[in-house]
Amino acid sequence: MGCLTAGEQKYSRGLEGVIAAISSISCIDGDEGNLIYRGYPIEVLAKYSTYLETAFLILYGHLPTEKEFEDFRENIKSNYELHPGMIDTIKNFMMDAHPMDVIRSMVSMMGIFCKDKREFSREAKYLKAIRVIAKIPTMIAAFHRLREGKEIISPDKSLTYSENFLYMMFGEKPDELSAKVLDIALILHAEHGMNASTFSGMVTASSLSDIYSAVTSAIGTLKGPLHGGANERVMSMLDEIKSLEDVKPFIESALAEKRKIMGFGHRVYKAYDPRAKILKDWAYKLCEMKGDLLHFKMGDEIEKIMIEKVGKRGIYPNVDFYSGLVYTHLGIPRDIFTPVFAMSRSVGWTAHILEYLESNRIYRPRAIYNGPIDLEYIPMEQREE
């Protein structure tokens, strides 16, 4: 029997170190802690670009001309609205549903309510990607308003992508700082190579399934606390620790019990996640402005202790460690942190799906068989209890 057996091939748990694609979208230098999107360092994009311009860069491979950006922005804005059938459906959702379950279900519904679903041209695929990017913010905000017993707020096309999301969530146009900080956070979360949720979407798309199904897969994957759900748990950890004096004993006992500290560690980064560095600065500014330096100091103390204890093993803060503080002080509810991550990462997901489909081959890895071979079939009545 030609089963793959142990010893014939190297098994890599979690596909660690396995190359699953060739891509020009981003590059992660895990040893030095650097990240570039299409050749541009994220520090430069966070400083000079906007989320929507970065989204164009990631999707199309170059920074847009003014005309290209205007057309792209109008295309996004013209796709903000949800189909009335989707709005009727969301009104019948359980209002205590997790918002990640809501957007996973609603993106899946796009395959039912969006027209041109049977068109598979390159242009139709890009249009589906733009629809996903445009509609996820509306889905998140609509559900949040409904669960608060409030009216859904329609998108305001006069606002930027980030301003519009905060407007649809809270019913008023955000202050300049809040909109800017959210936009920077969306830039930092937009793309990250072969992370679990991106790979999950690519696997689905590689069977030539549709983009909505592929993004549904990605959202389901991102929901997990080892991936996108960590920032919610960072804030719960700060609640549990309570004071600055309790930080050291809490972290030391957690490490002694081999518990993982959320917001730390990474499969690729064995240095400080460059996104966390930028988010830490903004977290400080927001915490100082909101008079919440205690939480920031607790985070900084956790970071110091973790780097001292496990930094030598390559365990440093990752993107999730300070994003929770940033979102908290933007007024974003904790269970909407990961949906905001999904809103941003919809660009990276769709860019990798579209890139891989250019020279598609269905993903189909192997498994080493370590079970028995050639057993005799015993009739049920003769089997011993």
Residues that bind ligand SDX (CB under 6 A): 14, 192, 195, 226-227, 230, 260-267, 315, 318-320
Our CB check for ligand SDX shows the closer of 107 and 262 to be 262
Cβ(324)–Cβ(232) below 8 Å = yes
As measured in angstroms, the least distance from the Cβ of 306 to ligand SDX is: 7
Where do the DSSP E strands lie in the chain? 26-29, 34-37, 40-41
Interatomic CA distance for residues 37 and 55, integer angstroms: 10
As measured in angstroms, the least distance from the Cβ of 344 to ligand SDX is: 10
Our CB check for ligand SDX shows the closer of 163 and 303 to be 303
Our CB check for ligand SDX shows the closer of 227 and 297 to be 227
| End-to-end Cα distance, the chain | 30
Interatomic CA distance for residues 233 and 382, integer angstroms: 53
Our CB check for ligand SDX shows the closer of 114 and 353 to be 353
Our CB check for ligand SDX shows the closer of 265 and 299 to be 265
As measured in angstroms, the least distance from the Cβ of 37 to ligand SDX is: 12
As measured in angstroms, the least distance from the Cβ of 231 to ligand SDX is: 8
Which of 183, 273, 320, 329 is flagged as catalytic?
320
Residues 6+ apart with CB under 8 A from 366: 4, 9
Residue showing tokens 């989707």: 86
Which residue has the closest beta carbon to ligand SDX? 265
Residue 206: C-alpha distances to residues 123, 183, 315 (Å)? 18, 31, 33
As measured in angstroms, the least distance from the Cβ of 318 to ligand SDX is: 4
Interatomic CA distance for residues 129 and 58, integer angstroms: 12
As measured in angstroms, the least distance from the Cβ of 352 to ligand SDX is: 11
> In what order do the strands lie in the sheet containing 26-29?
26-29, 34-37, 40-41
Active site residue 266: yes
Interatomic CA distance for residues 147 and 59, integer angstroms: 33
**DSSP assignment string, 198-209:** HHHHHHHHHTT-
Which of 189, 192, 266, 295 is flagged as catalytic?
266
As measured in angstroms, the least distance from the Cβ of 33 to ligand SDX is: 12
Our CB check for ligand SDX shows the closer of 45 and 109 to be 45
Quote the radius of gyration of the chain (alpha carbons, Å): 22
Residue 6: C-alpha distances to residues 9, 20, 371, 374 (Å)? 7, 22, 11, 17
| DSSP one-letter code for 334 | G
Our CB check for ligand SDX shows the closer of 159 and 310 to be 310
| DSSP one-letter code for 374 | S
Helix/strand/coil for 353: helix
Nearest CA to 298 out of 248, 357, 368, 345 is that of 248
Catalytic residues: 266, 320
